[in-house]
Structure 1
Amino acid sequence: MSNALLKTPRDRAGDLLRDPLQIATELALRLATTANARDQAGGHAAQEREWIRESGLLTLSIPSAYGGQGADWPTVYQVIRILARADSALAHIFGFHHLQLAGIQLYGTTQQQRRFLTQTVEQNLFWGNALNPLDKRTAATEADYGFQIDGVKSFSSGSVGSDWLTISAWHEETQSALIGVVPTRQLGVSVQADWDAFGQKQTDSGNVHFNQVSLPSTQVLQAPGIKPTAQATLRSQLAQLILVNLYLGIGEGAFEAARSYIAQEARPWFASGVAAAGADPLVQHRFGKLWLKLRPASVLADHAAQALERLFRLGAAVTAQQRGELAVSVAEAKVLAHAAGVDVSSEIFELTGARSTSAKFGFDRYWRNVRVHSLHDPVDYKIRDLGRYALDGTLPEPSAYS
């Protein structure tokens, strides 16, 4: 595939926008050619991240008023799912890039939105995450210009190779966190490429160190001591739906890999009495059960994406009740997508057989990737939230994970 296909979301006449789902499909095919080898090697996928940048999809969620494509969130999530079928690590980085852009829209002032979103479009910036809310080792100290940031932040997805970072830092005096943005190459910021999990190997999710980093007040999106609005707490729901679509994409990728293998490589079991593995009624039965894991999860994910889109466009008018009802929809999707991704990526081996475990196929990466990513936050607490809601209508308490 030539780079010309991926350089811009506009067609070659420069007037009409190309379909982002088609661009994502082309990009996914390109990523798939090296996905297995890169998964085995680990490290930083610098070239492939440039392919994402060249695709034009980094501006997908940015409002047209700031020069972006103004896509709705259901479209963004579909792109994430398409990419995850081929390469869930880079789909993760892509999704978290848009999560940072959403944070600017949810927390930032009009001036901050115009500055950072317009700059992202003009410079085709790639954003990374250093906002792990459970890691309070990064401290914010007040200074004349704003705050000084010191410490370390773990699980910083997309930090390696990023241009800007969204960060959080603990403010001791108010016993709360601030949220801000800094250039990744700013003096005092050091990104460690030390992510060593057995899955999602190329998510660039290592540690970020801050040593006397200056954070001007103009780059503080949410000051410490400020209670988040219902609108601001939509960020956690945006993040959870990114995970949902990653799990689904991985499950769908595993399903397609198994289907293709059975059609092209697998031999029927001698006792089946059929000439082709796909004609075995037991294989057909099991594939039907796998489909029934993926299908309802997909429906609930799409439903939740539509609900989130409606609230996101309401802006400051979002109520706590609406936000809580959205959290229920997202939790439903999360639980089913979690189970679908883990189950499908594991059970395909019972259908593809021993030869499919060869490293040349790399089918194990689907299970390893979803298993690692599904531990982002305990799914049992989502089920608990749903149980409370089913029993007495209690809505989930807003948090960084619910």
Structure 2
Amino acid sequence: MTTLLNRIELKDYAAIASALSQELAASAVERDRQAGIPHEEVRRLREAGLLPLVVPREYGGIGATWVEAYKVLQEIAKADGSTGQLYCNQLILSVVGQVSGTPAQAERYYRATAQHHLFWGNAFNTRDTRLKIEPEGDRFRVNGTKTFGTGVAAADIRVFAAVQDGVDHPIAFILPKDREGIVYNNDWDNMGQRCTASGSFTFHNVLVNPDEILGPPPSPEGAFSTLLFVVNQLAKTHVYLGIAEGALEAARDYTTTMTRPWMTSGVDRASKDPYILQHYGELWTELKAAIALCRQAAQQVQTAWEKGQALTHEERGEVAIAVYTAKAFTTKVGLDITTRIFEVMGARSTAAKYGFDRYWRDLRTFTLHDPVDYKLRDIGNWVLNQELPMISQYS
């Protein structure tokens, strides 16, 4: 660990991420089949020293910018969409104290994440209102069920949101992994993102202390207090991008080594087939365009992040439009690539042993997180009416 951390301090985390990506890729198909709780994936991220990537240096973290962190995230997702989603949440949740918490919470969680290499998981999902929180003296009790608890079963520290009677907005709180009364129902059995353990949790009279309630932030009505929702949208987009990139790389390797030319093609190998060449030309162009949009949006996110409390709502809205543009296009491109790779690999590539279908299954599952149609609607409304997107957990 010490050696890795020293290397990371020299800004070699990109090389470390590349090495980890190759390691994850070697076992991705088997881990996808087995599914289950991602203890192994979390262990590898921790041992690589990448958990405090965006924690500021003054608190002991690596201090990477969002531009840098998104590239690392894309590299991890290229190998394994599930681990990409887990790491996506790690990056976002590890800074939640700074954006949505009090100054004391920001410092506490930053230092703890950096010192102990804590892995974060969450079941925030404000659309699920079955989890209830109520005051009990100077503390709180939580009961009910919460779905989509991505990575929570393997997390050291957990973020949840519950509803309190008479309070308009969900209440977010942060708990350690050993808090009594929280039961994972082990009910995640979806077609994709199978190693994220994104199932439901049941709370049985769970105690929450006042300092575990997140916030309020220094400027609750300021634009920066909700910027993390936009940062998160682009993080998810980079997972999509990584999955698409991984799919195209896997297809290229297969085409050049395994695919046979069609009998009337007039060429001696598949890599010379004119139609296969055209397909690859189209897919490569689409991928490069998506990467360019994501890089542009990442720089705008970083600029907004650096403004902190000085960020205006108009500036936040313009960054959101840039992120939505990248997300909408990358979703379309990713689904196209993960579907069409079979056209350039051939019938034998559908064999289960290769697991090439996992790219589409992972991407299709994750891109349903929130409807991209509403992102396109918001973009159109901004283009025609100069109206900024409504702020929510998903925007």
- Stretches of structure 1 that go unaligned for 5 or more consecutive residues are none
Describe the shift of the 1:45–1:7 C-alpha distance in structure 2 as closer, same or farther (beyond 3 A).
farther
1:207 corresponds to 2:200: yes
Q: Which amino acid aligns with 1:10?
A: N
Q: Which amino acid aligns with 2:156?
A: D
Aligned to 1:337: 330
Aligned to 2:378: 385
1:63 corresponds to 2:66: no
Q: Which amino acid aligns with 1:175?
A: D
Shift in Å at residue 47 of structure 1?
2.1
SS of equivalent to 2:349: helix
Choose the corresponding residue for 1:116, options 109, 119, 130: 109
Aligned to 1:305: 298
CA deviation map 1:360-381 (0-9, x unaligned): 1110000110010111011111
Structure 2 CA distance, aligned partners of 1:166 and 1:110? 17
1:51 corresponds to 2:44: yes
Structure 1 CA distance, aligned partners of 2:174 and 2:104? 14
Choose the corresponding residue for 1:270, options 260, 263, 267: 263
Aligned to 2:243: 250
1:187 corresponds to 2:180: yes
SS of equivalent to 2:207: strand
Structure 2 CA distance, aligned partners of 1:209 and 1:143? 19
**Runs of 4 or more off by more than 6 Å in structure 1?**
none
SS of equivalent to 1:176: coil
Structure 2 CA distance, aligned partners of 1:152 and 1:8? 39
Choose the corresponding residue for 2:275, options 279, 282, 292: 282
CA deviation map 1:278-299 (0-9, x unaligned): 1111111111111122111111
Choose the corresponding residue for 2:346, options 349, 353, 372: 353
Aligned to 1:9: 5
1:394 corresponds to 2:387: yes
Aligned to 2:316: 323
Structure 2 CA distance, aligned partners of 1:228 and 1:345? 41
SS of equivalent to 1:174: coil
- Within a 5 Å distance, the mapping from 1:209-228 to structure 2 comes to 209-222=202-215, 228=221
Shift in Å at residue 45 of structure 1?
3.0
Aligned to 1:149: 142
1:163 corresponds to 2:143: no
Aligned to 1:296: 289
CA deviation map 1:241-264 (0-9, x unaligned): 121011111110110011111111
Shift in Å at residue 126 of structure 1?
0.7
- When normalised by structure 1's length, the TM-score is 0.94
Identity of aligned residues (%): 38
SS of equivalent to 1:202: coil
Query: Is contact 2:102-2:216 (8 Å) kept?
Result: no
Structure 2 CA distance, aligned partners of 1:383 and 1:279? 38
Query: Is contact 2:52-2:94 (8 Å) kept?
Result: no
- When normalised by structure 2's length, the TM-score is 0.96
Shift in Å at residue 302 of structure 1?
1.1
Shift in Å at residue 396 of structure 1?
0.7
Structure 2 CA distance, aligned partners of 1:65 and 1:110? 14
Shift in Å at residue 184 of structure 1?
2.1
Describe the shift of the 1:137–1:228 C-alpha distance in structure 2 as closer, same or farther (beyond 3 A).
farther
RMSD of the alignment, in Å? 1.7
Shift in Å at residue 234 of structure 1?
1.1
Shift in Å at residue 222 of structure 1?
3.1
Query: Is contact 1:180-1:221 (8 Å) kept?
Result: yes
